[in-house]
Structure 1
C-alpha cells in the first residue's frame, strides 16, 4: 500500500525548538495564521489554548521525537487556497508574532512551501474522497 504524502513537515531545528518549548510549556500545537496581525505564520500555543472549531482542518501531526506528536491546524477557508501546497515548518532568528510561544526567545517559526506534484495531489484528493 502506498503511503500518502504529508501535508506538513518540519526541519530539525524546528523539532529541536519544539522539544524545548514542550519541556517548558507542556504539550504544544500549531495553528497556521491566516494573516492580519500575525502575518501568515505558524503560531505555536500550549495545546488547548487556541480554541479550535468546525472551521479548522487538521493538517497532520509532527513527530518531534517525544511521546506526543505536535498537531498542526489551519482554517478551512485558508486551506482552500493552500490545499495544493506542502508546508515545512522551520525556525529562523528574528522577532515574530507576539502570541506564539517562541517569541521571547528571539526566533520565529515560518513556513517554507512547495506545490505538490500532480501525483502527490491526486493521491491526497483520492484519499479525501474515500
Structure 2
C-alpha cells in the first residue's frame, strides 16, 4: 500500500491563499486556468467563477481553497509529472487575471512528483 492517500496536483502558498481570500471578498467565487503561453507567458489566471469558459479540452487539476484549477489537456501532457504550487509575486503582469490591478500577480512554482506519487496518481 502506498503512503500517499491523496496527492494534490496543485497547492498554494500562504501568500496565495491570502490573496485568494481577498479576491473572493471583492469578486465572489473564483476559478483558475493555467495559461498556455498567451499574453504574459504561461501563468495562472484568476477569474470570477464561470467567467472563463472551460470545455472538453480542459483538465480539472483540483481545487485551491475551493477554487477549481484548470489547464488545457495539451499543456497537461507536458505538466502531468509536476505538482503546481500557486504563489504570488509583486509586479504587474499583462494578463486579464483579477489580481493584476492590485500590483501583484500569481505565478507557478513546481516540483516533479516522485515515482511513488506518480504511481498513486495513476490510480486516480
Structure ranking higher in helix proportion? 1
Tell me how far apart the structure 2 counterparts of residues 26 and 20 of structure 1 sit (CA, whole Å): 10
Q: State yes or no: 1:101 paired with 2:103.
A: no
Q: State yes or no: 1:34 paired with 2:36.
A: yes
2:14 to 9, 12, 15: 12
Q: What is the root-mean-square deviation of aligned Cα atoms in Å?
A: 1.1
Runs of 4+ in 1 over 6 A off after TM superposition: none
Tell me how far apart the structure 1 counterparts of residues 29 and 71 of structure 2 sit (CA, whole Å): 18
Partner of 2:48: 46
Partner of 1:61: 63
Partner of 1:111: 108
Q: Are the aligned partners of 1:97 and 1:108 in contact in 2 as well (CA < 8 Å)?
A: no
How far is 1:3 from its partner?
Answer: 1.2
Tell me how far apart the structure 2 counterparts of residues 55 and 113 of structure 1 sit (CA, whole Å): 22
How many residue pairs get aligned? The number is 122
Partner of 2:25: 23
Tell me how far apart the structure 1 counterparts of residues 78 and 52 of structure 2 sit (CA, whole Å): 22
Q: Which piece of structure 1 moves more, 43-52 or 30-39?
A: 30-39
Q: Structure 1: which 5+ residue stretches go unaligned?
A: 64-68
Alignment TM-score, normalising by the size of structure 2: 0.94
Q: State yes or no: 1:72 paired with 2:90.
A: no
Q: Are the aligned partners of 1:32 and 1:74 in contact in 2 as well (CA < 8 Å)?
A: yes
Tell me how far apart the structure 1 counterparts of residues 23 and 87 of structure 2 sit (CA, whole Å): 14
How far is 1:38 from its partner?
Answer: 2.5
Alignment TM-score, normalising by the size of structure 1: 0.90
Q: Structure 2: which 5+ residue stretches go unaligned?
A: none
